[in-house]
Each structure stands twice: as C-alpha cells, then as structure tokens.
Amino acid sequence: MYDRDQLFINGKWAAPVDGRDCISVVSPHSEAVIGHAVSAGPADVNRAVDAARAAFDAGPWPRMQPAERIEAITRLAGIYNERRADMATLISAEIGAPITFAKRAQVRLPLTMMSAFCNLAAGYQWCQDRPGLYGKNIRIRKQPVGVVAAVVPWNMPQFLTVTKVVPALLAGCTVVLKPAPESVLDAQLLADLVAAADLPPGALNVVPGGREVGELLVRHPGVDKVSFTGSTAAGRQVALACAQGLKQVSLELGGKSAAVVLDDADPSAVATGIQMASLANSGQVCNALSRILVPHQRKDEFVDALAAGMASMTVGDPADPATQIGPLAAQRQQERVRGYIESGKSEGARVVTGGSQMPDGLDAGWYVRPTLFSDATNDMRIAREEIFGPVLTVISYRDEDEAISIANDSEYGLAGSVFTGDVERGYGVAARVRSGTFGVNEGYIMDPAAPFGGVKNSGYGRELGTEGIDSYTVSQSISTAG
C-alpha cells in the first residue's frame, strides 16, 4: 500500500491546509485499492503557486547560469536512474501498464529525455547578437517565461511530466505540477527524487487532484504559462481560461492518426509495425495509429495479417513480463471503449478479432480484448472519434489520392504513418498528410531531438527538441545607443 498524506510544496513535504479529500488509487488489474494520496485544496494551490512565484521572482533558480541548471538536472537524472525499478513497478501497478513496457517507455524513455534536454540546453542559444536595420547590433536574450503550470494525464505520466517539467526548469522557470488522480503516486515519487537532488525550494511543486484543482491552477493569476496534455474538450476550456488571463499556453490534445498502407507494402511488416505503434499501453497513446488505410485490391491480405498478430497478443496481469496488453487505466475507460466497439458493430463494421467481452481467463480487471474492425468507412464513430483503447479500424481505398483524402478527413492532426517498399514514395505521402508528426514504415518514434505536437484539434505548441525549450522562454530584444 502506497500512502501519502502530505503535499510537496516549496521544497518540502507538509500537511495540506485545506486539502481534505483522499485520492484512492485502484489497481486496474485486481480492482483493489493500492494506495492513497491527499488532494490539494484551493489554499494549497495558492501555496504552491506562491512558492513557485517567490522562487521565480526572488530565488536563485532563474538567476543561475544555464550550466548550473544543467548540472542540477543531471544530478536529478542520476537519482532517477537509481530508482528506475521502483518507478516502473509503481506505474505498472497504478495504471496497468505491462511491466516490460513500463520499464522501457514509462521510465527509461523519460530518463533518456532528461539527458537529451540537458544536451540540448548545453548547445542552446540563450543569447545572440544580430545586426539591426539601423546599423546597430541588437542583442536577443532568451528569458524564462515565469511560473509554469504543467497538467498531465494518466496514460504516460512520467514521460509527459518530464517533457514539460525538465525543459521548463532548464529554461529557468519554476513549475507547479498537477498529476492525474489515476497516476498520482508516481508523481509523488518524482517529488521525492527532486527533494533528494536538492533543487531550490519552490522550483517544483506538486498539487494532486481532479478537475477542480486543475481549473484553480490554470486560472491562477500567479501562473504565466500553462502546458496541458489531455482531451480536446478539456483543452478548449484550458485555452479559454488562458485567453482570459493572457497566459501563454501549449496544448497537446487528442488524435485519430492514420496509417496509410501502400500497395507495395509487406503485410507481415505492416502488422508488426502497426502492433507496436497502435497497441502499446493498451492503445492508450495519443499518437496511436488507430485508422488503418489499406488498398482495396489487397485488403484481405492486410486484414488477415493484422488479425493474426492481434489475436496472438498476450493479455493479462501487467506484472507478468510476458504480458503485452494490460488493463485499461480506469473502469470508465473500459466502459467507454466497449461502447465504441458496440457502436462500430451497430454502424455496420465487421469485428475480425476481439470484441467487447472480457478476455479469456480473466474475470476481474478493466480489460478489453485487442479488437480489429474491417469493412468500415471514415464516417463511422470508430473512425472519427478518439477511442483510446486497443481498437483498430481498417478502411479500404481505391488509389493513393483517396488514401490521402481519407487520412486528412479528420478533425485531428497529431501523427500518422505510411508503410511502403519505397521510402521516397513514403516521404511524398508524408508531405501530403496534415499532421504534426509522421513516420515512414513505423509509428512516429518521439525522438527527443525533434519537436512533437499537432495541428487542428490536436492542439498547438511543440514539445521536445530545441522547440521544447523555446516553449518556456520569451525573447528580450536589447538595443544600445551610441
């Protein structure tokens, strides 16, 4: 049992002022309570923002040289590395991520991102001179934007936290982090690691809670920038609140990404690539490839290969290293995904494998079978709405132009992929699909050197790469007389 009855604010653990609600963390596998955390109340949110505000306005962190902040984050990364096994076990327990995936993507990837951001910060142009129009030099300084509110969801909690918190800290900002209730325990462990790394008080503060805490934080006048990852509906509300407060905001929202399978692709290779890009974390990934566009004349080959691969996946206890598909993170998510499966059937799509019944051998837990639909059209709900579960929809097309048209016929634009025997042909398809990221013969790999983000209803702003540091800075232009 993991129990936390204190909040991490201003560099120390302390009892909440008015946070009385208890967050119960339930195992998605056993449906048993595995931990508790206290939720922040309004006064606690104020305390956290005030601590971050004081640390930014008068504390040492923004006034350190970039190399000093890099050294501090490198120290944090070393401590994080020592606790990798603990972090992976905790995330697997709280959200049901298979332990093998948790070790690789939920923990090792965030650790990689810490080191990558430190390397990027070391080469970042914090100050540059450029010739002005009037014959004088202009000095451009990159300054930290201020106090950052980082709001993260439950599906990839440490990865999404690190990709917000670390570049913000490296830029000289101070941060108030609001984790999701489902994944609050790993955020508390991260706070322990920050305390051990001896970052200045107020540099990072953590306020667990639900939607009410998020709204208080986003609307707080002491916050200068909001970085939000979540649903498109919630993102709209965040954008409105930030507009009213004239705050900067970055939004990484939903997706309904298409995999364009060209007529020269190999069915076996496509099935393997789709399985990795679409079903990791039980399909609870924003850039999952959930629409599979295949040439009509070869549809059966691709459907058969996809179905065989999905039917062979091991579904079960996330603590078992052999498990490939664990439970969904919440009961409401299980019900939501099952509802989409029934919707697909009622609209005329054909279930090739899977379905809404519990997987064999399991009588508890929030599980959904890996499900493949065929004979679908792009106007069905399963093709238009983000399901966020292990459900894939195959849509056939007549020619490449129609495939591109279907791929772009979506309110989302986060990611996409093309599978082909000709890489140059793949680049041509990528150039025609409107999305923030794209993969050729793979799902987009979230390279820390490249910006990640979407267009359309998938949000705006970029994380990762030097753009991920840019996101937490403002440019100051300085001219000199004489």
pLDDT at 135: 74
Report how far residue 306's alpha carbon sits from residue 154's, in angstroms, rounded to the nearest whole number: 28
Q: Are 382 and 409 part of one and the same domain? A: yes
Q: What is the extent of the structural domain holding 281?
A: 258-440
Report how far residue 219's alpha carbon sits from residue 124's, in angstroms, rounded to the nearest whole number: 31
The letter for the amino acid at 41 is: G
CB of 147 within 8 A of CB of 174? yes
Residue 445 lies in a domain: no
Q: Are 396 and 463 part of one and the same domain? A: no
pLDDT at 25: 97
Q: Are 462 and 414 part of one and the same domain? A: no
Q: Are 128 and 273 part of one and the same domain? A: no
- From residue 128, give the alpha-carbon distance in Å to each of 37, 160, 356, 477: 46, 30, 58, 10
Count: domains in the chain: 2
CB of 10 within 8 A of CB of 202? yes
Residue 453 lies in a domain: no
CA-wise closest residue to 269 among 92, 442, 394, 132: 442
Residue 200 phi, psi dihedral angles, 5° rounding: -60, 150
Q: Which DSSP letter does residue 181 get?
A: G
Residue 393 lies in a domain: yes
Q: Are 66 and 212 part of one and the same domain? A: yes
Q: Are 321 and 397 part of one and the same domain? A: yes
Residue 450 lies in a domain: no
Q: CATH number of the domain that 121 lies in?
A: 3.40.605.10
Residue 127 lies in a domain: yes
Which of 17-31, 341-355, 423-437, 458-472 is least confident? 17-31
pLDDT at 133: 86
Residue located via tokens 């000709």? 422
Residue 449 lies in a domain: no
Q: What share of the chain is helix, strand, coil (3-state, %, to 5)?
A: 40, 20, 35
Q: Are 320 and 188 part of one and the same domain? A: no
Q: Are 140 and 125 part of one and the same domain? A: yes
Report how far residue 465's alpha carbon sits from residue 117's, in angstroms, rounded to the nearest whole number: 8
316 Rama class: left (phi>0) / alpha (psi -120 to 50) / beta:
left
User: Can you spell out the DSSP letters for 326-354?
Assistant: ---SSHHHHHHHHHHHHHHHHTT-EEEE-
pLDDT at 421: 97
The letter for the amino acid at 456 is: K
Report how far residue 288's alpha carbon sits from residue 295's, in angstroms, rounded to the nearest whole number: 20
Q: Are 377 and 362 part of one and the same domain? A: yes
pLDDT at 210: 95
Residue 186 phi, psi dihedral angles, 5° rounding: -70, -30
- Check pLDDT > 80 for residue 440: yes
Instruction: Give the whole-number percent of the chain exceeding pLDDT 70.
Output: 100
Residue 208 lies in a domain: yes
Q: Are 133 and 151 part of one and the same domain? A: yes
- Check pLDDT > 90 for residue 191: yes
Q: How many CB atoms within 10 Å of residue 434?
A: 15
Global pTM reads 0.96
- Check pLDDT > 90 for residue 101: yes
pLDDT at 159: 97
Instruction: Give the whole-number percent of the chain exceeding pLDDT 90.
Output: 97
DSSP E strand stretches across 10-97: 12-14, 22-26, 33-38
pLDDT at 1: 81
Catalytic residue among 94, 182, 252, 386: 252
pLDDT band at 482 (very low <50, low <70, confident <90, very high): low
Q: Are 67 and 212 part of one and the same domain? A: yes
Helix (H), strand (E) at residue 199: none
Residue 215 lies in a domain: yes
pLDDT at 19: 67
- Check pLDDT > 70 for residue 365: yes
Active site residue 31: no
Report how far residue 296's alpha carbon sits from residue 353's, in angstroms, rounded to the nearest whole number: 20
Residue located via tokens 């990484």? 252
pLDDT in tens, 22-81: 999 999 999 999 999 999 999 999 999 999 999 999 999 999 999 999 999 999 999 999
Q: Are 339 and 427 part of one and the same domain? A: yes
Residue 194 phi, psi dihedral angles, 5° rounding: -65, -40
Q: CATH number of the domain that 341 lies in?
A: 3.40.309.10
pLDDT in tens, 208-231: 999 999 999 999 999 999 999 999
Report how far residue 459's alpha carbon sits from residue 433's, in angstroms, rounded to the nearest whole number: 16
425 Rama class: left (phi>0) / alpha (psi -120 to 50) / beta:
alpha
- Check pLDDT > 90 for residue 20: no
Structure-token pair, residue 170: 């490296």
Q: How many CB atoms within 10 Å of residue 424?
A: 8
pLDDT at 204: 98
Q: Which DSSP letter does residue 356 get?
A: S
pLDDT in tens, 260-304: 999 999 999 999 999 999 999 999 999 999 999 999 999 999 999
Q: For the chain, what is the mean pLDDT? A: 97
Average confidence (pLDDT) over 389-393: 98
